Amino acid sequence: MDDGLTLETHLVSHWRQSGIMPDQLDVPPIPYELLYIWNWWTELHQTRPTGMDEGHITYTEIHNWSTLLKINVTPLEIRCIMALDSAYIGFRAKKQPRTPGKT
């Protein structure tokens, strides 16, 4: 299928039309112990500057956010936030339609 739509869009459409959820859409929930990192990432994501392209959340943004809110973020938690952000940026890049002449 090269109609410009994502696999997720096709799977959701199939689910809506048939009432049968495809296995690919059945993902496990975020473990409770890690939910706070997801919530931190969503807070940081909301402050992301938008324009022609969305940029990555920076270490400076994490530092400023954590200082302002008085949150003690460990190096491991920062790496988790950065990994989530890289996954998001990668997902967005795959979802964006390609413009002829651009890579």
Asked if residue 88 belongs to a domain, the reply is yes
Give me the domain span that covers residue 64.
28-95
Stated pTM of the model: 0.69
Fill in the amino acid letter for 57. I
Helix, strand and coil percent figures for the chain, each rounded to 5: 60, 0, 40
What's the number of domains the chain is made of? 1
For residue 34, being part of any structural domain is answered with: yes
At residue 6 the predicted structure's pLDDT band, cuts being 50, 70 and 90, is confident
More confident residue, 27 or 97: 27
- 2 contacts: CB under 8 Å, gap ≥ 6: none
Amino acid sitting at position 89: I
What mean pLDDT comes out for the span 12-37? Answer: 89
